[in-house]
Amino acid sequence: MPTTERDPPANRKVGSMHDFVVRSLGRAIADGRLAGRIDPAEMQERFAVSRSVIRECLRVLEAKGMVRARARHGTHVNPIDSWSVLDPDVISWRAAGSDRLRQLTEIQQIRSALEPQAAALAATRTEPAPLAALARALDALADAAEQVDVDALITADIAFHTCLLVASGNVLFTQLAPLIPAALRLPELADARGITSDITQRHSAVVDAIRAGDAAAAMEATRFVLDQSRELLDQAVALSRRRATPRS
């Protein structure tokens, strides 16, 4: 099993090597290139680290549900339904591999269920700070759209939807915020999304409804924004499939 990065860190300190090995193994598992039984001796030789480092790295992956260790049976890769799929590392590793579009679809489904409710909750609150943060994210989104800067637009979009979850006041929604970058910062999505003329208007409608304390309007405006996200997701999936289809 080749590692997912070309070279280990130049700094051979234990901490940096530990992180490198965990990340490399995690990405390989998420990408499907590492499956079945994991041989610690092979990993020790491949990464040129001690057996204790490998054991500790496997413990980290076990805590994330990605592997299981059993006496006399060794360490095996778990199926995805055992993974802690909301763990930020797992989200990042899936987003970097071949499973990214499946994860993107799953996240879109979660967002469609939760974000309209988050907006409705935000409209019932009176604390000024969350709304101010949402307004700043909207300003950044508008600036990026005006400058036709796709990278800045995606960054601002991530900030906006993260702020929306936080503005709900629901700590469970807030803890789902790491899903937002995984949903929006993907190569296919960046290529597909472009700049749409009404993206600022759609997001502005969400902020206006929250400011007005209109929960129903906030929900509807958020659904309208997410409709656009679904369109962009369809474009991203189509683009990925075209790239994957061999030319005759």
**Boundaries of CATH 1.20.120.530 in the chain?**
99-244
How far apart are alpha carbons 174 and 177 in whole angstroms? Answer: 5
Note the pLDDT tens digit of each residue in 147-170. 878 888 889 999 999 999 999 999
**Boundaries of CATH 1.10.10.10 in the chain?**
14-82
CATH of domain 99-244: 1.20.120.530
**Which of 25-34, 81-90, 147-156 bottoms out in mean pLDDT, i.e. has the lowest?**
147-156
Cut 0.75: pTM above it: yes
pLDDT for the residue 232: 73
How far apart are alpha carbons 151 and 159 in whole angstroms? Answer: 13
**Phi then psi dihedrals of residue 70, to 5 deg:** -130, 140
List the one residue out of 163, 113, 165 whose CA is nearest residue 134. 163
pLDDT for the residue 5: 45
In the chain, at which residue ranges do the beta strands (DSSP E only) sit?
37-38, 67-70, 74-77
- The DSSP symbol for 77 reads E
Contacts of 72 (CB under 8 A, 6+ apart): none
Q: What is the mean pLDDT of residues 61-76?
A: 93
Q: How many CA atoms lie within 13 A of 194 on its CB side?
A: 8
Class (C level, CATH) for 14-82: mainly alpha
